[in-house]
Structure 1
Amino acid sequence: MIRGLYSSATGMIVTQKQAASIEENLDNVRNPGYREEQNIVTSFPSMLLERISAGSGAEKVPIGGMGTGVNADRLAMKLGSGLVVETNQPTDVALVSEGFFVVQTRAGERFTRNGHFELDEANRLRTTAGNLVLGENGEIGPLGPNFSIEYDGTVRDNGEVVDRLRIVDIQGTELQREGKTTLYNTTQIPVPVARDTIQMRQGAIEESNVNVNDQMVKMVVAMRAYEASQRVLQIQDQSIEKAVNEVGKV
């Protein structure tokens, strides 16, 4: 009976975490390059129940298993591209194909799908947070007013090749978002994406891949699951109270 309390309580905790993730997704729906986050829900180990017959040395007869609850201990990034929107800003770059831009932060290299870039005071390509965008040869720049970025990431300035945007591939489940940004980190070694598979579009950005309607449905489901677990918890509590009172009368 006590185990039933744990199962219901862990179910409520998981749905709370799911609701928090949904809220985070909705908050970032207009954030370029944001990837929807999903909770990875796992079950605690189940317990095997056995019936023990009376008498010494009696055989234990398995009568089935019992779940001990669930847990949501980590987040995974949902793969899939967002809508590409034209901005006509030369520093904006939409990565249409798979992969991630590489940027240099104070903590090291990080990865992003957010191509809303700008030029710094030295005319180097950087993110709006001030992190330099990396090419195959390092930082990109200085760039003149007539620079261009081709579909494969080649950066030209007045027709001359400056560098090529560095694009890498990483398994989505291994990426961890840093704080409230669209920067991701990983313990994996990023793999360079083959040039002939890269597709970019200058003067455009990729929006988030969050579907608002889908998130609203998930929120309703999560709230109903929370309410169901709450009702079960109340029933378990009432059963325990009744059992304690009945025992007290014996």
Structure 2
Amino acid sequence: MARALLFTGGDCITLREEDSMSGGPEGLRAAGHALLYWQRRQEVNTHNLANAETAGFRARRVFAEMLEGGIPTVGTRTDTRVGELRQTGAPLDLALAGEGNFVVQTPNGEKLVRSGSFTLDPEGQIIDATGNPLLGTTGPLVVPPGPLEIDARGGVTVDGEQVGRLRIVGEAESAQPLRGEEALPGGRGLGEGDPVRAPGRGAGPDEIPDDLPDEMITVRQGYLEESNVSALDSLIEMTTIQRSFEAVQTSVRTLDSIMETVANRIGRVD
């Protein structure tokens, strides 16, 4: 009996014997979906491992599910578990204890940010490592010279005078279906890969979520959130993926051999 691995809900299952024997092409198609799944897991796991030391990075997790009509789909979701907070003492190192996201303005729209080592540009605008402005409730935050303090609710004060307030939004639904042209998120931290709202785009699954109420906000000034990726777990995952991929390849070779044998027998009967 030939066996091929398929996936459902992220787990492997075994094709029924009749799938492999009487529906050879279907068995190969199922094995092809499985290869795609494990390949995607390897890509995402490699990306996670590369960002194990990136402040604020949140791991991506691969999911697989059956759509209506038995069509399998593969996608990724953000692992929303909070990473450990590391104290730095820098006044513009910011993190969030609990849920929520900062928002930065990028050339492609607004992006969610869990943690970041921000700086001031020459105009006094608070920016991230790539020059994107950090947004307050009324737009980009610009502060005058002087001692800067940010309280737990996101209020920004300089020399004891409030000059702005951080915009803190909720968590986003960030399940992303797999497409052949889809690129993995960039590995520069600061919430890379989280949804953005491009100018002119209507409401949809990539819409920036609503602002959080004050009682749900806890900003930590002088802290950075570590990546929630475990390098050890990622290395173990790499071994699991490799073995599973090889098992599917073996199934493909077995199915191909069975189909060739059946074709030869049919040819002799004719």
Q: Do both share a fold (TM > 0.5)? A: yes
Whether the aligned pair in 2 keeps the contact of 1:36 and 1:77 (CA below 8 Å) is: yes
The whole-number CA distance in structure 2 between the counterparts of 1:4 and 1:175 is 27
Structure-1 residue corresponding to 2:34: 11
Superposition pairs for residues 1-250 of structure 1, below 5 Å?
1-43=24-66, 70-72=72-74, 74-173=75-174, 179-181=186-188, 182-183=191-192, 184-186=194-196, 187-250=206-269
**Which one has a bigger Cα radius of gyration?**
1
Report the Cα offset of residue 37 of structure 1.
0.5
Change (3 A) 1:204 1:113: same
Q: TM-score, normalised by structure 2?
A: 0.78
Amino acid at match of 2:195: N
Contact kept? 1:178, 1:185, Cα under 8 Å? no
1:189 deviation in Å? 4.6
- TM-superposed deviation, 1:225: 1.6
Q: Deviations over 1:163-204 (max 9, x none)?
A: 111100133435898544434324335211111221121111
Q: Secondary structure at the match of 2:112?
A: strand
Is the 8 Å Cα contact of residues 11 and 69 (structure 1) preserved in structure 2? no
Number of equivalenced pairs: 228
SS in 2 for 1:97: coil
Stretches of structure 2 lacking an aligned partner (at least 5 in a row):
1-23, 178-183, 197-205
Unaligned ranges ≥5, structure 1: 47-67
Q: Per residue, is there more strand in 1 or in 2?
A: 1
Choose 110-119 or 178-187, whichever is displaced more.
Answer: 178-187
Contact 1:115 1:205 in 2 (8 A): yes
Indicate if the aligned counterparts of 1:123 and 1:143 stay in contact, CA closer than 8 A.
yes
Deviation at 1:115, TM superposition (A): 2.0
Structure 1, 174-183 or 34-43: larger mean CA deviation: 174-183
Amino acid at match of 2:150: I
RMSD between superposed Cα atoms in Å? 2.1
Looking at structure 1, the residues matched to 186 and 45 of structure 2 have their Cα atoms a distance apart, in angstroms, of 16
**For residue 58 of structure 1, what is the aligned residue in structure 2?**
none
List, as ranges, runs of 4+ consecutive aligned residues in structure 1 with deviation greater than 6 Å.
none
Q: Alpha-carbon deviation of 1:221?
A: 2.0
